[in-house]
Amino acid sequence: LLHLADCMEWTGPLWTTWAFPMEQFCSQLQCAVTGHLNPYPGIDQHILQLCQWDILKLKY
């Protein structure tokens, strides 16, 4: 959390630079929720697939 002060000096207020990335991330997680009683397995699977895609992109 100590880096936040430096980021604020470099980029300005955090709400202006984090709004779009956080909204995009939250919308991705919202699509990953498959069960409302226990949403965590769907979120875990979605994050695992995103990481696997990133590895494939780096490899090929």
**pLDDT tens across 2-58, in order?**
776 777 778 777 777 778 888 888 888 888 888 889 999 999 999 899 999 999 999
Single-letter code of the amino acid located at 53: W
| Helical spans, DSSP H, in the chain | 3-11, 14-32, 40-59
Residue bearing tokens 């919308």:
27
Q: What is the pLDDT of residues 7-21, one digit of tens each?
A: 777 877 777 777 888
By the 8 A CB rule, do 14 and 5 touch? Answer: no
Side-chain half-sphere CA neighbours of 40 within 13 A: 1
State how far Cα 16 lies from the chain centre: 17
Residue bearing tokens 């994050």:
47
